Amino acid sequence: MKETKDILTAWRNTRIVKRIGTEYPSQSSVVAGAARDFDYRQYLTEQEAEVVDNAVLSLKEYNPVQWTVLVAYYLKNVSCNAQAKAIGKRPHDIINILNQAQSFVGGNIYPFFNKSSKNVKHCSENA
């Protein structure tokens, strides 16, 4: 499974691209026949993006402050330093809130992304 931060970055890319109307296919840029230990896609499929959307919406219900920091960071591209300065807190405090939000989302998306990563076959298995 990919790191939660990588999945959230791909989610951001997917949602921003769809918002501006320049949708690209959500296909992996991995070379055919290459080992698929890592998936380097910069975008998610619509199904994957919906799983992340649901996790982020659950976070909004669970902890609105964490949701605000996560959405500002990933969708609005506002750094932790800028968020801290805007509300008069230390950057470290915002980073802690962001880490907690990422953990919450990671826990919610883990079953889906762990299951989908087990379905990917490796080259050695095809031989």
Query: pTM here?
Result: 0.74
pLDDT at 124: 42
Q: How far apart are CA 30 and CA 50, in angstroms?
A: 23
Is residue 73 within 8 Å of residue 80, measured between CB atoms? yes
Annotated domain spans of the chain: 4-28+40-111
Residue 118 CA to residue 78 CA, distance in Å, equals 34
Q: Return the ∠ at Cα 52 (arms to 8 and 69), rounded to 5°.
A: 55
What's the pLDDT score for residue 71? 96
3-state secondary structure of 42: coil
The chain-wide mean pLDDT, for the chain, equals 80
